[in-house]
Chains A and B, each alone.
Chain A
């Protein structure tokens, strides 16, 4: 449920880094808590992203929430397929359900993110206890 090759942000987003490009999405836990996702707002290319702040908004049948960016940089791509089929995020949060690609400006931020083991521990000990 939490692939080892990803880094995780405490606001339940993940990042897959390749060079200076980071692909981001929401975690299995996030999509499960949201329930059926019905809409995600398009992120425009060239939009700036800042770690720990809102990247876009996502709506499920239960709630409307902010997707928090795990890294800072410039958005280069948005997963357009989500516009017509946001449910892909529920079905495949780590592959087809990626949300955006961000060109990272400060890769030292990556050190603040958790690995899969740390994220799972964080879910067990802090999130699910709360």
Chain B
């Protein structure tokens, strides 16, 4: 079985390895760099910048940990970016090594589907190469969405691709869009010293999260003196020599040295031959697939950001595994009800399953357990007490419908609940499991107890 995969991001490279494990002869076509957006411009670069920002934060607050620090601490942006590139480089090498180990062929160039059995690649030197395949997996990803009236120039008007490679720290930064990407960069740049203002059309920051979580994040933004203007849009941007001048929908003007546009991502589904072979696309260009990741064309699969929906690296990887298994004759499906997601703000946010609003809109009878990080000894020892755990469970069955955490290490803490959900466990199952002390994970146990008003470290209700 010959499988050709378009794109070596977290969807495509994972699909490649799984298909190879199952015995396929796999060719991956990548026009940029293996690891895709996630590894080169997204998840990993931002996390290395955040690690630098957190280290800076700790040093600035050393006194609160009983440390006397002499002298000043200054972010050196050149070295911070150098560290980021080094981390990314190691991971890129890792994927290339895995390809070699599993016998996956990597072809560097731009691939276009000629017919369901053939991909034509334009190699880096401009020459064409045809790849024959029995099955094709499309994993071409997405790119930062632009506002047509003020396109990215990389100097004054930045996308997230630019924001991970700064050549200096702007004195002031205006971020358009207070979603996941905008909020992560807001904390990073604020810590590095920029005066940060965010403008968001929706009534809340991270508006797709549970409402209580959004509210708490907004308070943390305030604590960090990051300005947030909600229910506001940008009407006009004037790029000037020394900065940008922005007209807002509330009639006010804001001046900033740079502007970061983080209003979402557009799918990469054009100019890769989809129209020519008749692959069905939705309104925003997303490739339409079923739960087996099959498009309407026999033998052609699509996974990851290009299928629209929630754009998450790990979901793309799961879809890649499912597509590869199905391409090899298996029968796999993705469970979209249990998809953990993390936002690396300060503190972190993590979620899995339903928001409370969804449960209520669907008329489900549910109970909510809540627990504050500040009730945990470990949080106090760490000096990071702000945060909330929240579990939503179905009344009667006690099964977990969703969970939301904002607080230190939320991104790690959510998985215990994800495992419980994937396996139909109840809040009582979590509550009955001994959790080590002193840990933040005790908060998950306490929250599960709180669903039944039995958290030990909460006052009587």
Q: Within residues 90 to 111 of chain A, which ones have a CB less than 8 A from any CB in chain B?
A: none
A57, B219: Cβ atoms under 8 Å? yes
The residue among B219, B372, B374, B385 with the most chain A CB atoms within 10 A of its own CB is B374
> Which residue of chain B is the closest to A84 with respect to CB atoms?
B225
Interface residues of A in 55-70 (CB under 8 A from B): 57, 59-64
A42 CB within 8 Å of chain B: yes
Task: Judge whether A63 and B372 touch: CB under 8 Å.
Answer: yes
| 8 Å CB contact of A59 from B375, B380, B386 | B386
Residues of B within 8 A of A (CB): 219, 222-223, 372, 374-375, 380, 385-386
Q: How far is the CA of A37 from the CA of B375 in the complex (A)?
A: 14
Q: Which residues of B contact A39 (CB under 8 A)?
A: 219, 223, 386
A-B contact pairs, 20 of them (CB 8 A): A38-B385, A39-B219, A39-B223, A39-B386, A41-B219, A41-B222, A42-B222, A57-B219, A59-B374, A59-B386, A60-B374, A61-B374, A61-B380, A61-B385, A62-B374, A62-B375, A63-B372, A63-B374, A64-B372, A64-B374
A84 to B385: give the CA distance in the assembly, Å: 17
Chain B residues in 8 Å Cβ range of A38: 385
Q: A59-B374, A63-B372 are in contact. List 16 more A-B contacts (CB 8 A).
A: A38-B385, A39-B219, A39-B223, A39-B386, A41-B219, A41-B222, A42-B222, A57-B219, A59-B386, A60-B374, A61-B380, A61-B385, A62-B375, A63-B374, A64-B372, A64-B374
Q: How far is the CA of A23 from the CA of B375 in the complex (A)?
A: 32
Closest chain A CB from B85 CB (angstroms) = 37
A-to-B contact residues, CB < 8 Å = 38-39, 41-42, 57, 59-64
CB nearest to B386 among chain A residues? A59
A83 → chain B, closest Cβ, in Å? 8
Least CB distance, B239 to chain A, in whole angstroms:
31
- A64 CA to B222 CA in the complex, in Å? 15
- Mostly, the B contact residues are helix
By a CB distance below 8 angstroms, the chain B residues around A61 are 374, 380, 385
* Residues on A with beta carbons closer than 8 Å to the beta carbon of B385: 38, 61
Give bound CA distance, A42 to B218, whole Å. 12
A90 to B: closest C-beta gap in Å: 16
Chain A residues, CB < 8 A from B375: 62
Report how far A60 CA is from B375 CA in the complex, Å. Answer: 11
Residues in A neighbouring B219, C-beta threshold 8 A = 39, 41, 57
Q: Within the assembled complex, what's the spacing in Å between the Cα atoms of A129 and B380?
A: 30
Chain A: which residue is nearest B220 at the CB level?
A39
Within the assembled complex, what's the spacing in Å between the Cα atoms of A62 and B380?
A: 10
Closest chain A residue to B215, Cβ basis = A57
A65 → B minimal CB distance (Å): 11
- Complex CA–CA separation, A62 to B385 (angstroms): 9
A63 to B219, CA, bound (A): 15
Distance in angstroms from A87 CB to nearest chain B CB is: 12
Least CB distance, B371 to chain A, in whole angstroms: 12
Distance in Å from the Cβ of A24 to the closest Cβ of chain B?
20
Task: With both chains docked as a complex, state the minimum distance between the C-beta of B39 and any C-beta of chain A, in angstroms.
Answer: 37
Q: A60 to B372, alpha carbons, bound, how many Å?
A: 12
Alpha-carbon separation in the docked complex, A41 to B375 (Å): 20
Q: Shortest distance in angstroms between A64's beta carbon and chain B's nearest beta carbon?
A: 7
Nearest-CB distance from B409 to chain A (Å)? 19
> In this complex, which of A42, A60, A62 has the most chain B Cβ atoms within 10 angstroms of its Cβ?
A62
Q: How far is the CA of A62 from the CA of B386 in the complex (A)?
A: 10
- Could you tell me the distance in whole angstroms from the C-beta of B404 to the nearest C-beta in chain A? 16
**Within 8 Å CB of B380, what residues of A?**
61
* Chain A residue with Cβ nearest B385: A61
Whole-angstrom distance between the Cβ of A85 and the nearest chain B Cβ: 13
Q: How far is the CB of B77 from chain A (nearest CB, A)?
A: 27
Complex contacts, A63 vs chain B, CB 8 Å: 372, 374
* A64 and B372 alpha carbons, distance in the complex (Å): 9
